[in-house]
Amino acid sequence: MSASAPPTKTRLDQQDERIINATDGLRGALGSTVSRVRSGDLGAIPVIAGTVVIFVVFQILNQFFLSPANLSNLLTECAALGVIALGIVVVLLVAQIDLSVGSMSGVASAILGVGLTQAGYPLWLTVLIAIAVGAVVGLIYGASFNYIRMPSFVITLAGLLILLGLQLKILGPNGSINIPFTSPIVEFMQNSYIPRTAAYVLAGVVAGAYLFSQVRRRQRRIKHDLSSASVLSIGLKTAAALVVLEFATWYLNKDRGISAPFVWFVVLVVIMNIMLTRTRWGRSVFAVGGNAEAARRSGINVNRVYISVFMLCSVLAAVGGLMVAGRLATASISSGVGDTNLNAIAAAVIGGTSLFGGRGSAYSALLGIIVIAGIASGLTLLSLDASVRFMITGAVLFIAVAVDSLTRRSRQAHGKA
Amino acid sequence: MTDDDTSPTTTGRSASPLLSLRGINKTFGAVRALSGVDLDVYGGEVVALLGDNGAGKSTLVKVLAGVHPADAGTITFKGAIANISTPADAKALGIATIFQDLALCDNLDVVGNLFLGRETGGFFLSEEQMEEEAWGLLRQLSAKIPSVRIPIASLSGGQRQTVAIARALIGEPAIVMLDEPTAALGVQQTQEVLNMIDRLRSRGHGVVLITHNMADVMSVADRAVVIRLGRNNGDFHMATTTHADIVAAITGAVTVEAAATGVDLEGISV
C-alpha cells in the first residue's frame, strides 16, 4: 500500500485507479496525445500532414511556390472563401448543410456593386444591407427547417436558385459592375498589409495571449482541485508558438507581409472558436449535432439553435461575398457561381469537421482553406487549367471524407465515437 | 453496508406519500391505455411498476413525466394538487425521468452531458467548476467513471446509465423514475445500477422503477405495483410477497380482489 501511494496530493480527477491519463505535466500530455492518435482521434494531424505533402510536391514542381510572395498572396486569396467556409463549419456541426453560400455571397457582392455605384449609398450602409439580407435568408432557412421540417439540403438548393435569380435581378442588364478602386473595401482587400514592425509585435501578442489563457486555465483548475498542465509544458508550447509565428512573420515580411484580410479572417476564426467551445450557445450547437432529441429534453431550445446557425452561415457567406467583390473590385453575374459552394464545403470537411455532425472546430475552416487555396495556387503556377484543378480538388475532398469515415470507424472500435 | 448517511432525510420511508395518483385515465383514440389507475410513492422507498407488455406502465410514466397529460384523475404532489401537462412542469415539481434511451449526447463528454441545458458560469462557461461538481456528484453515487473528460461514446452501458442518473439528480428531484434501467446491461453493470438505486433510496428520493426483470425487483424494490390491461392489479409489499404472487398478478392468473391488498377496484371480468 505504502509503495503504491502517490507521492503528491491526488487531484479530484485522478482518484480512480483506472484513469487513462493519470500523469500530470509534460509526460502526461505527450502520452495522452499519443494514445489519442492511436485510437483514431486524429484531430488536425491528417490535414496538417496532407498540407505538408501538397506544399512540398508543389515546391518541387515549381520553385516559386513557397516563395514569400506566393505564400503572402495565397493567404490573402483564402481569406474571403475562408469566411464562407467558417459558416459551413457551424452548419455542419449541427449535421445540416447550406448549399447556397455561393449564391448568397454573389447576392452580397451584387448589393455592394449596385449600392456603391448606381444607388450611391455610403459603404457602411451597403455592407449593412448585404449583411441584413444574409440574416433574413438564414432566418427563412431556419424557419423552414424548424416549422415545415424540410431537409436542409433541399431548402438551400431552392435557395441557391432563388438567390442566383436575385443576384441577376440586382445586377440588372449589364451583368457586371466595377467598384471604384478608391473604395475602402477594395483598398482593404487589395492593398492592406500589416506594417512589418507591427506584424512582429502582433505575433508576440498572440503568443502572449496564448500564454495568458493557459496560465489562467491552470490557476482555475488548481483552484478547483483538478489536475493541470505543468508550467514547463505551458512554457514550451508558448515558446514553440512564438518561434513559429515570428518565423512566419519574418518570412512573409520578406515580401509584402501579412495581409489585413487574412488577419481579419483569422480573428473571425478565433472568435468563432471561443464561441463554440466556451459559451452556452456553442455547447448547445454541439449537443444538437450529437443528439438533437437529447438536447431538446435537456431544455435547450433546439429550434433557436438551428435558426442561429443558419443565420450565422448566411451572414458569413454575405461577408465573404463582400470580401470577394472588394478583392476583384467588381460584382458580376459570375460572382459566387461555379465552385465557390463546393470549395467552401470542401474546405470545412478537409479541415476536419465531420459531415455527420457534432464533431469539428472553427480552425478546420482555416486549415481546409489553406489546402484548397494551396492547390489552386500551385496548379496556376504550373499553368494547369481549371479542368485539372477541379479534379485534384475533388480527389483531395474524397480523401478527406475517406479519412473522416475511417477514423470514425476506428474511434468506434476504440469506444470513442 | 449502509452508507455514510449525511443526507437530510434519514433512511426509511416518509410518513405520507410524496406523490399520489388517483383515478388516472388516458385514452389514445379507441384504446383505453389507463383506466382509474392509483399509485402512491413515498420518499425513501423503491416502487417497482410491473406489468406485461402493453399493460400501460410506460403510459403511466409518460403521464408523470408530462409527455402525455392524463385525461382524468388527480395528481397530488407533497399534499397539493399538481397539474403536469408538459415535461417542464414535471421537472419543476421535482419529478425526474430517465428514459430507456438515456438521452445522452455521445459526442459530448461527461461534464457536458451532466450540465447540458443548465451550465454554470456567465457568458463563458466555468468548466472547472462544473468538473469539480461533476466529481462530487459521481462520488456521492460511488459511481465508477474513469474520467469526466471523455466522450459518452467511450463509456459502458452501466456507466452511461450512471451518468443519466447523476444528471437526473442535479436538480435535486423528489421522485426519480427509471424506465428499464437494466434492460441492456451485463451482470456486473446491472449490480452497479441496482446499488445506485439503493443509494437513491437512502438519499430520501422516491424511486419508481419500471422493469421486466423480477430479479431486480426482488433485490431492490420495497413495493411492487402491478398494472394489468390499464388497471391496477395489486400492490405488494416485497417483504411479505413471493415471486409467484407477483407473476400471477402480472399475467392475470389472479385478479385484484383475490390479492391481499385494499385496492378499491371492482373485479375485472374475464
Bridge-based pairing of strands B17-28 and B46-50 is unpaired
Mutate to test the interface with A, among B95, B115, B119, B127 (most CBs of A within 10 A): B127
Is A417 in a helix, a strand, or coil?
coil
CB A343 within 8 A of CB A105: no
State the smallest CA–CA distance between residue A395 and chain B in angstroms: 28
Considering only residues A167 and A402, tell me which one the structure prediction assigns the higher pLDDT. Answer: A167
Closest residue of chain B to A359, computed from CA coordinates? B107
SS3 string, chain B, reads CCCCCCCCCCCCCCCCEEEEEEEEEEEECCEEEEEEEEEEEECCCEEEEECCCCCCHHHHHHHHHCCCCCCEEEEEECCEEECCCCHHHHHHHCEEEECCCCCCCCCCEHHHHHCCCCCCECCEECHHHHHHHHHHHHHHCCCCCCCCCCEHHHCCHHHHHHHHHHHHHCCCCCEEEEECCCCCCCHHHHHHHHHHHHHHHHCCCEEEEECCCHHHHHHHCCEEEEEECCEEEEEEEHHHCCHHHHHHHHHCCCCHHHCCCCCCCCCCCC
User: Is A416 in CB contact (< 8 Å) with chain B?
Assistant: yes
Nearest to A359 among B107, B128, B149 (CB): B107
CB contact under 8 A, B106 and A417: yes
CB A208 within 8 A of CB A345: no
A227 inside domain: yes
CB A103 within 8 A of CB A136: no
Q: Which chain A residues contact residue B119 at CB under 8 A?
A: 280, 283
Least confident interval from A84-93, A277-286, A407-416, B222-231: A407-416
- pLDDT digits over B98-141, tens only? 888 888 998 999 999 999 888 888 889 989 999 999 998 888 88
Nearest-10 Cα torsion for B164, B170, B176, B180: 0
In 3D, which of B165, B199, B61, B135 has the Cα closest to residue A14?
Answer: B135
In 3D, which of B90, B27, B56, B13 has the Cα closest to residue B225?
Answer: B56
Mutate to test the interface with A, among B116, B119, B124, B152 (most CBs of A within 10 A): B116
Q: Which residue has the cell 514550451?
A: A236
CB contact under 8 A, B104 and A294: yes
A236 inside domain: yes
CB A90 within 8 A of CB A313: yes
When the pLDDT of each residue in chain B is averaged and rounded to a whole number, the result is 84
CB contact under 8 A, A286 and B105: yes
> What pLDDT score does A249 carry?
95
Closest residue of chain A to B144, computed from CA coordinates? A16
Q: How far apart are CA B108 and CA A286, in angstroms?
A: 7
Bridge-based pairing of strands B72-77 and B17-28 is antiparallel
A47 inside domain: no
Per-residue pLDDT for A161 more than 90? yes
**DSSP character at residue A148:** I
CB B22 within 8 A of CB B38: yes
CB B46 within 8 A of CB B222: yes
Q: Which chain A residues contact residue B106 at CB under 8 A?
A: 290-291, 358, 417
What band does B9 get if pLDDT is binned at 50, 70 and 90?
very low
Burial of A361 (0-12, 13-18, 19+ CB in 10 A): buried
Q: How far apart are CA A172 and CA B183, in angstroms?
A: 65
A363 inside domain: no
State the smallest CA–CA distance between residue B233 and chain A in angstroms: 32
Average pLDDT over residues B44-70: 89
Q: Which chain B residues contact residue A223 at CB under 8 A?
A: 128
Per-residue pLDDT for A318 more than 60? yes
Average pLDDT over residues B41-68: 89
CB A45 within 8 A of CB A400: no
A42 inside domain: no
CA distances from B177 to B66, B180, B208, B209 (A): 12, 10, 5, 6
CA atoms within 13 A on the CB side of B191: 2
Cell of residue A253, nine digits: 515580411
Q: Which residue has the cell 512582429?
A: A200
Helix, strand, coil % over all residues of chain A, rounded to 5 = 70, 0, 25
Answering whether pTM is above 0.90, one says no
A252 inside domain: yes
CB contact under 8 A, B107 and A280: no
Considering only residues A394 and A76, tell me which one the structure prediction assigns the higher pLDDT. Answer: A76
CB B185 within 8 A of CB B193: yes
State the smallest CA–CA distance between residue A138 and chain B in angstroms: 24
Average pLDDT over residues A323-337: 90
Considering only residues A384 and B259, tell me which one the structure prediction assigns the higher pLDDT. Answer: A384
Residues above pLDDT 70, as percent of chain B: 90
- pLDDT digits over B139-193, tens only? 888 777 888 888 888 888 888 888 998 888 887 889 999 988 888 788 888 888 8
Per-residue pLDDT for A415 more than 60? no
Per-residue pLDDT for A328 more than 60? yes
Nearest to A225 among B87, B106, B132 (CB): B132
Per-residue pLDDT for B260 more than 60? no
> What pLDDT score does A15 carry?
65
Size of interface A-B (CB pairs under 8 A): 102
Domain count, chain A: 1
A277 inside domain: no
Is A178 in a helix, a strand, or coil?
strand
Q: How far apart are CA B241 and CA B223, in angstroms?
A: 9
Q: Which chain A residues contact residue B148 at CB under 8 A?
A: 13
Cell of residue B65, nine digits: 413525466
CB contact under 8 A, A290 and B107: yes
Domains in chain B (CATH in brackets) are 17-105+173-258 (3.40.50.300)
- pLDDT digits over A225-280, tens only? 888 888 899 999 999 999 999 999 999 999 889 999 999 999 999 999 999 999 99
Per-residue pLDDT for B3 more than 50? no
> What pLDDT score does B188 carry?
83
Q: How far apart are CA A363 and CA A369, in angstroms?
A: 10
Q: Which chain A residues contact residue B108 at CB under 8 A?
A: 283, 286-287, 290
Domain containing A217: what range? 193-258
Cell of residue A393, nine digits: 480538388
ipTM of the complex: 0.83
CB A342 within 8 A of CB A85: no
Q: How far apart are CA A131 and CA A141, in angstroms?
A: 15
Per-residue pLDDT for A221 more than 80? yes
Q: How far apart are CA A3 and CA A271, in angstroms?
A: 48
Residues above pLDDT 90, as percent of chain B: 26
Q: Which chain A residues contact residue B154 at CB under 8 A?
A: 414-417
Burial pattern A259-293, b for ≥16 Cβ within 10 A else e, equals bbbbbbbbebbeebbebbebbbbbbbbbbbbbbbe
A228 inside domain: yes
Q: How far apart are CA B52 and CA A131, in angstroms?
A: 59
Give the Cβ contact number of residue A79 at 10 Å. Answer: 24
CB contact under 8 A, A226 and B129: no
